[in-house]
Structure 1
Amino acid sequence: LRATALVGAAHVASMGVKRVVRRPRPRLPGARPLVNTAGRHSFPSSHAASSAAAAVAFGALLPGPFRLFGPFPPLAAGMCAARLVVGVHYPSDVAAGAMLGAATARMGRAWSLRGGGLDG
């Protein structure tokens, strides 16, 4: 549950940055994005932030070498790449989102791994 909370925190952080920066989504002449988006701002990518946070937070729950080489990093990378392929983000949006998400999960890693009851 705590790892999931870190993913949510990364998403909320990215939405906050998005509201401050207000960078418009990319527009290519003669081409439309392949997906619809809920908002019109692109920096940072919230999908990238959430995916990277999930890779870090849930990866920390895996044993030994699976923390780095488990299934989560490739899945997060796929989500990041998809945001570029469908035409709704610039590369810098995705990079910033991934860094924000990974940093958020890394900062909360000790808390998320702490055992105990609901009081932590």
Structure 2
Amino acid sequence: MSAVEVRALAAVQRNLAHRPGVLAGARAMSHFGEHALGWVALAGAGAVLDRPRRAQWASAAVGAVGAHAVSIAVKRVVRRPRPDHPSVRVGVSTPSKLSFPSSHATSTAAAAVLLGRLTGLPLPALLVPPMLLSRLVLGVHYPSDVLVGAALGAATAQALLTAQDRHGFPGGDR
């Protein structure tokens, strides 16, 4: 991996990881985002509580899982190993040794775009940066992994929204 990315990753850890609550918060975000399950649970709660828009909430869950699946497919093709450098501390276990793209970043960006459209809230701006930063704080991704993952998630969500708009999905023309 490029020395620039290793230095950037180590700098993030050096400047943030020691601050109170940062590692615990990053680990909590890691567990929430694992396999997009936190986003599925959140969308499921929305579907239960907001019956008139149940289909849109379900679509957000499907979109987050779909984006996660796309990231896994890309990981298996690219096969970039996770960070392994003496200046980088790993703060959480991972289900695979593959790094690119970050599946957490991908599913979070997709969920944020879809849930943001559904709720009218600026969720991409609120949710994506902390998740991306958490993956660096935990030392499990390079900066390019999280940036490309976020772009892939946003593109996946936009493709879903475009398809919904084209086919008259309820709420798709918002």
TM-score, shorter chain, exceeding 0.5: yes
CA contact (8 A) 2:71 2:103 kept: yes
Name the larger-Rg structure.
2
CA contact (8 A) 2:115 2:123 kept: no
How many residues are matched? 111
Question: Which structure has more helix as a fraction of its residues?
Answer: 2
- Residue 22 (str. 1) matches residue 74 (str. 2): no
- Residue 48 (str. 1) matches residue 100 (str. 2): no
Matched residue of 2:85: which SS?
Answer: coil
Q: For residues 48-71 of structure 1, give each alpha carbon's deviation from its aligned partner in whole angstroms, at most 9, with x where no partner exists.
A: 0000001101111123xx3xxx34
| 1:36 aligned partner | 93
1:78 counterpart letter in structure 2: P
Matched residue of 1:81: which SS?
Answer: helix
Q: Structure 1: 5+ residue runs without aligned partners?
A: none
| 2:156 aligned partner | 104
- Residues 56, 31 of structure 1: alpha-carbon distance in 2 compared, 3 angstrom cutoff: closer
The RMSD of aligned alpha carbons is 1.9
Structure-1-length-normalised TM-score: 0.84
| 1:13 aligned partner | 70
| 2:36 aligned partner | none
1:88 counterpart letter in structure 2: V
Structure-2-length-normalised TM-score: 0.59
Q: Which runs of 4+ in 1 moved over 3 A?
A: none
Q: Structure 2: 5+ residue runs without aligned partners?
A: 1-57
Structure with more contact order per residue of length (Cα contacts < 8 Å, sep ≥ 6): 1
Separation (CA, whole Å) in 2 of partners of 1:44 and 1:30: 21
- Residue 88 (str. 1) matches residue 140 (str. 2): yes
Q: For residues 13-70 of structure 1, give each alpha carbon's deviation from its aligned partner in whole angstroms, at most 9, with x where no partner exists.
A: 000000000000011216530111110000000000000001101111123xx3xxx3
Q: Percent identity?
A: 50
Separation (CA, whole Å) in 2 of partners of 1:104 and 1:30: 34
- Residue 76 (str. 1) matches residue 128 (str. 2): yes
Separation (CA, whole Å) in 2 of partners of 1:101 and 1:31: 26
Matched residue of 2:118: which SS?
Answer: coil
CA contact (8 A) 1:7 1:54 kept: yes
Q: Which moved more, 1:40-49 or 1:104-113?
A: 104-113
